[in-house]
């Protein structure tokens, strides 16, 4: 399934989550999806994104585990990822999902009296925030690439250069 469709499914599932455990499960679903998208872009995405994409694929490391809360949601959605058609659109949607996840987790963390759930939320907030930072960096790199492609070639260097008068 295409990345944007999976992200939309994740946003819908998060919006429909009514319990703390469902929200936490959707947060980990989003994190695993971010890792999968990162892996996909690291292997075949635009060259200028590959380093950050590799970093995105590694975020969470040992923190992202498949536990009972993820299994409650019907398995890992990220395993259905087959393509990232439009990197900009997918990264923009992923950034929105990660932001929504962070907000939802803050709500759960603030409302719980259970120490374990609180710390699980804090870990998931950290992972979503770090993933969001990587996504924003990749979007900035895409914007730079698009601006450079729109510039006229610089004959002295035989490549696109800065617009005259802006140095």
Instruction: Residue 103: name the closest of 74, 134, 132 by CA.
Output: 132
pLDDT bracket for residue 156 (50, 70, 90): low
Q: First vs last Cα of the chain: how many Å apart?
A: 45
Instruction: Look at residue 42 and give its three-state secondary structure.
Output: helix
Q: What is the pLDDT of residue 167?
A: 45
Q: What is the pLDDT of residue 92?
A: 97
Give me 22's structure tokens: 């469902």
Give me 13's structure tokens: 């599932």
Question: pTM of the predicted model, to two decimals?
Answer: 0.82
Q: Is 70 or 98 the better-scoring residue by pLDDT?
A: 98
Q: How far apart are CA 5 and CA 49, in angstroms?
A: 21
């Amino acid at each position: 399934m295409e990345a944007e469709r999976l992200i939309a499914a994740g946003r819908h599932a998060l919006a429909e989550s009514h319990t703390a455990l469902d929200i936490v499960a959707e947060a980990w679903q989003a994190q695993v999806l971010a890792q999968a998208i990162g892996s996909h872009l690291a292997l075949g995405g635009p060259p200028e994104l590959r380093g950050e994409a590799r970093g995105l694929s590694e975020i969470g490391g040992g923190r992202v585990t498949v536990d009972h809360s993820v299994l409650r949601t019907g398995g890992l959605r990220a395993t259905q990822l087959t393509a990232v058609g439009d990197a900009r659109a997918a990264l923009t949607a992923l950034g929105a999902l990660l932001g929504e996840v962070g907000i939802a987790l803050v709500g759960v963390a603030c409302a719980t009296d259970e120490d374990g759930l609180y710390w699980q939320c804090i870990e998931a907030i950290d992972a979503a925030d770090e993933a969001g930072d990587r996504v924003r960096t990749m979007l900035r790199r895409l914007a730079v690439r698009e601006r450079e492609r729109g510039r006229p070639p610089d004959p002295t260097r035989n490549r696109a250069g800065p617009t005259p008068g802006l140095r």
